[in-house]
């Protein structure tokens, strides 16, 4: 076992990848690409001061894509033995030979492949034994109970630490890979009693455990949010401005990526078809992609095709400057890859000058949206309808909590109706934004 806790060191993963490529060539593949990975971790949860679960995970896997001309086959295995590796390659070749030719099926062009691999500071192992992990989770939950007498129950607190590494390689000579870590602390509690109970949660997740909020602070945040929801009620059906709280606002960036990703575009299942160079957001919106940020969850020097990643402005002045394309979807569309096989890399909505209180004042009267339920997004039409909860705002001040309503609109209109984004940026994933104020949406209540 390596000194980083892995069962296989990085050189071993490279050797396995090299063996896969060599055997695929020997068995008649015209091209091949492979991913070899390993990961492990620990998750501990407690509830009401008692240990609830202790989970350990250790996984490894290989994925092999082979090409026989324009025919592609894929197979995978969790067995690293030479016999299993050969069987996996043979299975991929067998699938390829029974697959119809696809002129878009091929490796990335060699000149697009990454050749530089900067250290993006993505690996920070956390030497956290199970007793210490239990202690952190207990401290988190206890801090929530200590925050208020109105916190009456708990759905638990948890501490998780995960680390992994991988190597990607293909028959054009590309070889790249690195180690990553992901650590988190979370808490979910219940306030009130009887029919007046409300739940809420809070969590933080980082590459480096030193960057995590303290367990006690996370517990207090969960408690404060649950307590703030006591006395929630419906509101009358209306059409008003809606302020998406920062953690929730990141989902709007996710909606944007889904609608401008290659798969949706070449299948013609997006409301943003043929939008390149067109105004799809309000003029003040600027969305940046920055794949090389240190410690960020979306950072990588290359995408899933091995194509080098680059900084770009995806939206400028509200105008769409680029899609999210991998090699296959780019060929289907007759375009060039954007280095986004596997998704977006650190998408950031440029913030405005107002803090959270300033955003409430700007909205004046409307809904502060803090939670949505369900999957009511239709990417073909852009229709958006979600169960929702939050807080009613009058004269720039929160008046009372709101529940059991539906918030509805159309993403095309919502994007164009962005009034401003706040500087209250909260980042715990690969999409970063402050709160987002939408000019007008429909609220269905009583």
Convert the pLDDT of each residue in 91-149 to its tens digit. 999 999 999 999 999 999 999 999 999 999 999 999 999 999 999 999 999 999 999 99
168's tokens = 């990607």
Please give the DSSP secondary-structure letter assigned to residue 213: P
> Each residue of 24-56: b (16+ CB within 10 Å) or e?
beeeebbbbbbbbbbbbbbbbbbbeeeeeeeee
Q: Whose CA is closest to 308, among 32, 31, 110?
A: 110
442's tokens = 């429909």
Question: What pLDDT sits at residue 357?
Answer: 97
Mean pLDDT (whole number) for 333-354: 96
Question: What pLDDT sits at residue 330?
Answer: 98
Domain ranges for the chain:
10-228, 238-444
Angle of helix 215-228 relative to helix 130-147, nearest 10 degrees, comes to 40
* Cβ neighbours for 11, distance < 8 A, ≥ 6 positions apart: none
Residue in the structure block whose two tokens are 């995960």: 162
59, pLDDT greater than 70:
yes
Q: Do you know the residue count of the chain?
A: 446
In this structure, is the dihedral angle defined by the CA atoms of residues 9, 14, 19 and 24, taken in order, positive or negative? positive
* Cβ neighbours for 274, distance < 8 A, ≥ 6 positions apart: none
Question: What pLDDT sits at residue 82?
Answer: 96
Cα distance between residue 133 and residue 104, in whole Å: 48
Looking at every residue in the chain, the average pLDDT score rounds to 96
Question: What pLDDT sits at residue 375?
Answer: 84
- Third-level CATH fold of 10-228: PmbA/TldD fold (3.30.2290)
Which pLDDT band holds residue 1 (cuts at 50, 70, 90)?
Answer: very low
pTM of the model: 0.94
């Amino acid at each position: 076992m390596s000194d980083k806790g892995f069962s296989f060191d990085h050189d071993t993963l490279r050797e396995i990848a090299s063996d896969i490529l060599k055997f695929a060539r020997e068995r008649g593949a015209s091209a091949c690409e492979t991913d070899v990975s390993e990961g492990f971790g620990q998750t501990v949860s407690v509830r009401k001061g008692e240990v609830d679960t202790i989970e350990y995970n250790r996984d490894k896997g290989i994925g092999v894509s082979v090409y026989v001309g324009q025919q592609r086959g894929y197979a995978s295995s969790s067995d690293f033995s030479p016999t299993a590796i050969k069987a996996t390659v043979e299975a991929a070749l067998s699938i390829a030979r029974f697959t119809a030719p696809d002129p878009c099926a091929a490796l990335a062009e060699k000149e697009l492949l990454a050749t530089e691999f900067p250290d993006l500071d993505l690996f920070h192992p956390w030497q956290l034994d199970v007793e210490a992990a239990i202690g952190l989770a207990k401290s988190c939950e206890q801090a929530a109970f200590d925050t208020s007498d109105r916190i009456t129950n708990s759905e638990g607190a948890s501490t998780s630490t995960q680390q992994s590494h991988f190597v990607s390689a293909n028959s054009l000579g590309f070889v790249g890979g690195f180690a990553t870590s992901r650590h988190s602390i979370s808490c979910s509690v219940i306030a009130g009693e009887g029919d007046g109970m409300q739940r809420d949660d809070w969590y933080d997740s980082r590459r480096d455990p030193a960057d995590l909020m303290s367990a006690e602070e996370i517990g207090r945040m969960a408690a404060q949010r649950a307590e703030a929801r006591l006395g929630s009620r419906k509101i009358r059906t209306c059409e008003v401005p809606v302020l998406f709280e920062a953690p929730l606002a990141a989902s709007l960036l996710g909606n944007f990526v889904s609608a401008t990703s290659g798969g949706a575009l070449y299948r013609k299942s997006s409301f943003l078809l043929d939008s390149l160079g067109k105004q799809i957001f309000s003029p003040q919106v600027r969305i940046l992609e920055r794949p090389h940020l240190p410690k960020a969850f979306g950072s990588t020097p290359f995408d899933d095709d091995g194509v080098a990643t680059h900084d770009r402005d995806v939206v400028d002045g509200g105008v769409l400057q680029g899609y999210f394309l991998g090699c296959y979807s780019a060929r289907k569309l007759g375009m060039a890859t954007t280095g986004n096989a596997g998704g977006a890399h650190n998408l950031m909505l440029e913030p405005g000058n107002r803090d959270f209180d300033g955003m409430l004042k700007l909205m004046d009267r409307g809904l502060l949206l803090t939670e949505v339920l369900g999957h009511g997004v239709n990417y073909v039409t852009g229709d958006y309808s979600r169960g929702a909860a939050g807080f009613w705002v009058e004269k720039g001040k929160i008046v009372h909590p709101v529940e059991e309503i539906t918030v509805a609109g159309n993403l095309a209109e919502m994007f164009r109706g962005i009034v401003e984004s706040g500087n209250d940026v909260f980042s715990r994933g690969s999409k970063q934004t402050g709160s987002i104020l939408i000019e007008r949406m429909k609220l269905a209540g009583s």
